[in-house]
Chains A and B, each alone.
Chain A
């Protein structure tokens, strides 16, 4: 059995999204990661944090869908 250290942490509360509806929270974190990785690269610790947060907030199916759209150049957001 390999050793996995579990850190109990998650996407923090964001003042931009104070309501029950968190759809845009997930979307914003996804965009923020890609904006960040464009400048600093995928493995930058700053960007990695955004990735962790959008993975926490967005359903897996959404993320897979957006990743595919990005690969195909059909992503409906800022590239």
Chain B
């Protein structure tokens, strides 16, 4: 298969996990951007609450230590303080629920798609079907995507992440991805897209993609599926719509 981006080395970006990474991979979809923003918004509340609670705890331990307080307090309850420490956290939860729910509903939104791509999990590789287009023999595009074994890697390729045939998708286009499996449970996941969709034999799960920039995105099977679960990575190549169309017509003529 021709990887279109090979002709345009300047636009190659590799959206892939880094060593010792603790943050997110760069987002490529509006939803992933939303998730990252929500994460940092929540981090603000987490920091404020942790500092406040630790400070209260520290002060209590320091000032009410037994040597300074020979006679223990007999206070067991106080209605006002209990109201305050119940209502305040409930109120904070309500506030952070607002952006959280709007994001949740945005994720489920299926906008009328222009392209449907089916991805099937197998033991242990992914296969992709592009059945929107048929050639004269009524054949559609259909191929398997196997991991490249370590000994066949070229310089610059990622160990346990590179595949022989990438999934190719256009940018700035609403894409429907139908995820299913041929044998056991798998899960199709690409962190930069926030995609994680269970692949279930006998069931078709739908997820939508809208990619904002060209690039090569890496993901892995995310449902333990047997001995080679760790060796069925996902590589998605996002390119412009004209490039995608010419890739499709080349594939159809093969």
Chain B contact residues, majority secondary structure: mixed
B116 and A8: CB pair below 8 A? Answer: no
SS of A interface (majority): loop
A75 to chain B, nearest CB (A): 17
Nearest CB of B to A45, in Å: 15
CB proximity of A4 to chain B, nearest CB, Å: 5
Instruction: Say yes or no: B204 contacts A10, CB within 8 Å.
Output: no
Closest to A27 in B: B204
Q: How far is the CA of A23 from the CA of B241 in the complex (A)?
A: 28
User: Is A57 part of the contact surface with B, judged by Cβ < 8 Å?
Assistant: yes
State whether the Cβ of B154 lies closer than 8 Å to any Cβ in chain A: no
B204 touches A25 (CB 8 A): yes
List the A side residues contacting B136 at CB < 8 Å.
2, 4
CB pair A56–B120 under 8 Å, yes or no, is no
A-B contact count (CB 8 A): 80
List chain B residues, Cβ under 8 A from A58.
204
> Is the CB–CB distance between A59 and B129 below 8 Å?
yes
Find out whether the CB atom of A8 lies under 8 angstroms from the CB atom of B180. no
Within 8 A of B (CB), among A7-38: 7-13, 18, 20-23, 25-26
Of the candidates A6, A21, A60, the one whose C-beta lies within 8 Å of that of B249 is A6
Question: Per a CB cutoff under 8 Å, which of B110, B115, B178 touches A8?
Answer: B115
- Once A21-B205, A55-B131, A60-B129 are accepted as A-B contacts, the answer to whether A10 and B253 lie under 8 Å apart by CB is no
Interface centre among B112, B114, B120, B204 (most CB of A within 10 A): B204
Measured between beta carbons, the chain B residues less than 8 angstroms from A4 are 133, 135-136, 249, 252-253
Q: Assess the B116–A20 pair: CB atoms within 8 A.
A: no
Q: Is the CB of B114 within 8 A of A59?
A: no
B residues near A (Cβ < 8 Å) are: 108, 110-116, 118, 120, 129, 131-136, 140, 142, 173, 176, 178, 180, 182, 197, 202-207, 241, 245, 248-249, 252-253
